[in-house]
Amino acid sequence: MSLFGLKFGKKKLKEEERQLQANNRDFNLQFEYANNSIKTSKYNFFTFLPLNLFEQFQRIANAYFLFLLILQLIPQISSLAWFTTVVPLVLVLAVSGVKDAIDDFNRHKSDKHVNNRPVQVLINGMLKEQKWMNVQVGDIIKLENNNFVTADLLLLSSSEPHSLTYIETAELDGETNLKVKQALTVTAELGEDLQKLTEFNGEVRCEAPNNKLDKFTGTLTLRGEKYALDNEKMLLRGCTIRNTEWCFGLVIYAGPDTKLMQNSGKTTFKRTSIDRLMNVLVLVIFALLALMCLILAIGNGIWEHDKGYYFQVYLPWAEGVNSASYSGFLMFWSYVIILNTVVPISLYVSVEIIRLGNSFYIDWDRKMYYPLNDTPAQARTTTLNEELGQIKYIFSDKTGTLTQNIMCFNKCSINGKSYGDVYDMSGQRIEINENTEKVDFSYNPLADPKFAFYDHSLVEAVKLNDVPTHRFFRLLSLCHTVMPEEKKEGNLVYQAQSPDEGALVTAARNFGFVFRARTPETITVVEMGETKIYKLLAILDFNNVRKRMSVIVRSPEGDLTLYCKGADTILYELLHPSCNSLKEETTEHLNEFAGEGLRTLVVAYKSLEEDYFQDWIRRHHEASTALEGREDKLSELYEEIEKDLMLLGATAIEDKLQDGVPQTIETLAKANIKIWVLTGDKQETAMNIGYSCNLLNDDMADVFIIEGSTSDDVLNELRNARKKMKPDSFLDSDEINIEFQKSSKKQIIVPDEQANGVYGLVITGHSLAYALEGNLELELVRTACMCKVVICCRVTPLQKAQVVELVKKYKKAVTLAIGDGANDVSMIKTAHIGVGISGQEGMQAVLSSDFSFAQFRYLQRLLLVHGRWSYIRMCKFLKYFFYKNFAFTLVHFWYGFFSGFSAQDVDDRWSMLFPQLYVPGQQNLYFNKVVFVKCMLQGIYSSLILFFIPYGAMYNTMRSDGKAIADYQSFALMAQTCLLIVVSVQIGLDTSYWTVVNQFFIWGSLSVYFAITFTMYSDGMYLIFTASFPFIGTARNTLSQPNVWLAIFLSIALCVLPVVGFRFLKAQLKPTPSDKVLLKIKEAKKRPPPPSPKRRLRRTSTRRSGYAFSHQHGFGALIMSGRNMRPKSPFATTGTFSPNSDKYKHKGL
């Protein structure tokens, strides 16, 4: 049963296999499968108070103050009223509770929004609109174009030919290219016939819920026949239906059992390293408090035994106290209450207020506001601000986080000439910006209005009928697997299985070679206004080994041509020797494109002889129908025909980065922050982005590729990489190896190791799965952490979280994860700090994050300015607070022996210019155990001064009129005046920026203190509250004496001068990074620096392939089969519409 949201009763057995029947809820309910409701919140109405209080009392200080409150309720030992503790304690608990309630309320709202989405469910032969949360395993649901997939579904049928369904999986794996799923033939026949779908009673047996996004195994039993099920027939929750009018699916996994939720990770309670340190320090302070109370209690017992008897008339023992030892015991607890200020509850109130203030600074920062979509930065939690100043590792998603998810045809090289750059009248290349004149494509009625190009010389070459240029764009319009869609006449939309192909075909379209339509046997292209139909004879499909694709077409004139595009490293081996000189020129352009981080492809062609081709196509048919070795035979035939190609040129596509990404990464690297990119994208694509955003560069000593297919291969590759970076790390004398041998059982912390150069590491998801195993994870951490940059590609959402967890486990470092999609949620939850980018992939990442903003570039300001300032503010506060409290509390301690034992920093601009200022936070230099001990020693020293100087000044002292002032009230007044002035001066020394607010509170506090003091000891207060204020005139009598003020001044000098002297000498002899920067600022103000030149991405002549092509194997065969074709509208058929007609012909062409 369920009570208050908690489950009781029989424990659910672990599911080993899933069995379900379509349209049979009664059968499926017996297995108690989860429904489609999701829950990311922590509390409900009934569990909030007990669970939240339980969490809050895990904080040692809160438990301590609860214990203190209990003590204060005992009259024999209470020396302070109970409400002095209960009011602040309730305030602290209430503030934290309200904050947690608001956070959880937002999670409830998000859950409710998702769970209440509508979906059409087949119930009793009719489609009824249901909420997502009411969908159950075994239901059949209908989805339409652009719908989110409700649950993990078995695709039954769709509107497309052969029941194909196109989906976008950006939220699962970060890839924006479309993927194709296909239903079983036996279920495709169901179509959208509701009667047939209702009668469908297939039984599915499949694997238990798991987090493997790329695998699914199961069987469908229908009318006694068994059919195999795999991942190609599954639609996963988190995907979006595209270019498919409708489809029907059978729910296999729902809610928390879906692969998306299985990868989302758990919400953890995050605490800062300062919080954890404060817990340790509070325990130390408790021990000191107990020691002080014990000393005073023993002193009280001895004093009461030896002398207290004689003072019974004035100081009678409390009721029930009949011995000196019992008096000492009670006095121990009284001093626990009196000295509780050594760990006052105001510490935690103040810490929460400071954190809240720091959060407001982030929310209000206009420099982190993104006006294009009206998105300000948001601190979604107030408890982690200072942790932002200690980040050592950043784990970033690629798609949508570093990039904009937009591909642009940027440059090209045709017949040895480079196009794409813009030059001024003097021949100097100029920077392209929003004011640069774009090429006018208005002469082409079928041009894409969103396409932008700036080099007018390429259009001129097209208009002048330059043969290589025409052949280049003809190749781009023919050699692809793009599907055209034309819902209105002339309004072409390309459905590209790869975003690169979409960009290339769009470029050809704008330059006058418009891919218009295709059938399994033909491709229709409008070339410079003239419609031409090419016969498509073969598609030599792309795969990760070939790294190229080719088409063989017959032109309307009867010419046979093979067009090929692919990686330069592959195609260069297939070129005809006559292309050598052109190859050298093209290579120079490729190097330049790659140096700018562009994705490159080389394009080539070959004219074929009729006789040879007929023989080749016959052999191709035989190979494609072979029962054994089909792939190998086809590969040999492809190799045979793709020889002696004629080079045409190269394309360069920009995978558009978000603004400021390279500069942000460069700045963060200077702050000694290591950046790891974790992406679901392909290796080539991920590496290409690595180069374009300055993560990888050609100056690196090496970039290691880890792609082993077995555990041993991965181990060897990791060790070979480590051996190259640091050969000494394999010696028995290596400090880390010695430490590992000692610490066989306890948790190992891997210290930072320095490599002998700058290295990068790229590891694939398949290899990462082996590297994350127990015996290899330590090797992965050692090798990867020596590298400046690590890129993990083809990783699942859960692997992202595992990588973050691995670094948290073995490195004493603070981690930050940043992403924008649902596939990033697990790593955002796992890292110490999670940052969500409100981008194109929904709001799941933002809802799970601790901080959010709209652009990656704001991360440097979040860390280098807000993070650093929050950390420094917190550390300064804690140092001052502990100093002040030790000074204040220990005055009481010293008094016990005489009373019979009765109880500047730099601004934000300089922080960004000097990222090295961030390093002290990573090393936790501003507040740690050593700093705490220094504060404690300073507090002890100050307490000695603040007690004994006033004591000495008051001892046997007479006023100027001959009257004595050595009463304990005068002494207390003098000591507290010294204390308040000293701590006020100390806070002044710790203040970096003096503002009206600072001045008001520091000097205002002193003014209020003196006003209250003189009021308390006034004649009027005595007359009104005689019993409470019996010490008339103590303030005016004491503070009117010159020797008292001399003693106060002496106390201040002795407390403050050592601090000032120490800081001065330290700044001169051992300056901190801040001291060095402040010196540079002073020099810069005397002589302003010249304006820094605009930075451009460095171009390099080092040979490096810029190849990157996100394409799926097998799409060519699908096109040739015609299974994904549907009848076209009349105006999309060949020959019915031509821009060459009088209506559309351009006069200047």
Q: What is the largest CA-CA distance in the chain?
A: 131
What CA–CA distance (Å, rounded) separates 360 from 268?
Answer: 24
What CA–CA distance (Å, rounded) separates 241 from 146?
Answer: 5
What 3-state DSSP class applies to 672?
Answer: coil
Sole residue written with tokens 């981008």: 839
Instruction: Compute how many other C-beta atoms are within 10 angstroms of the C-beta atom of residue 1005.
Output: 13
Q: Are 598 and 652 a contacting pair, CB within 8 Å?
A: yes
* Strand ranges of the sheet holding 789-793, from the earlier edge strand across to the other edge: 378-379, 851-853, 833-837, 814-819, 391-396, 674-678, 789-793, 759-764, 702-706
How does DSSP assign 703-723, residue by residue?
A: EEEE--SSHHHHHHHHHHHHH
What CA–CA distance (Å, rounded) separates 706 from 715?
Answer: 9
What CA–CA distance (Å, rounded) separates 1129 from 92?
Answer: 69
**Pairing mode, if any, of strands 513-518 and 522-527?**
antiparallel
How does DSSP assign 25-92, residue by residue?
A: HHHHHTTT---S-----S--TTTHHHHHHHHHTTSHHHHHHHHHHHHHT-TTT--S-THHHHHHHHHH
What CA–CA distance (Å, rounded) separates 94 from 58?
Answer: 15
What 3-state DSSP class applies to 348?
Answer: helix
What CA–CA distance (Å, rounded) separates 453 from 460?
Answer: 13
Q: Are 1137 and 719 a contacting pair, CB within 8 Å?
A: no
Backbone angles phi, psi at 953, to 5 degrees: -70, -30
**713 a catalytic residue:** no
Element (H, E) at 702: strand 702-706
Residue 527, beta-bridge partner list: 513, 530
What CA–CA distance (Å, rounded) separates 1043 from 870?
Answer: 43
Q: Are 146 and 241 a contacting pair, CB within 8 Å?
A: yes
Options 139, 397, 455, 655, the catalytic residue: 397
What CA–CA distance (Å, rounded) separates 761 from 789?
Answer: 6
Query: Which residues 6+ apart lie within 8 Å of 737 measured at CB?
Result: 729, 730, 731
Query: Which residues 6+ apart lie within 8 Å of 118 measured at CB?
Result: 129, 130, 131, 132
Residue 650, beta-bridge partner list: 413, 602
DSSP letter for 865, please.
Answer: I
Q: Are 974 and 945 a contacting pair, CB within 8 Å?
A: no
Helices 273-306, 324-338: inter-axial angle, 10-degree rounding: 150
Q: Which of 873, 731, 748 is nearest to 811 (CA)?
A: 748
What 3-state DSSP class applies to 350?
Answer: helix
Residue 234, beta-bridge partner list: 154
Query: Which residues 6+ apart lie within 8 Å of 192 measured at CB?
Result: 142, 157, 159, 246, 248
Sole residue written with tokens 């004595």: 964
What's the gap between Cα 1118 and its chain centre? 38
What 3-state DSSP class applies to 1016?
Answer: helix
Amino acid at 705: I
Q: Which residues are identified as catalytic?
A: 397
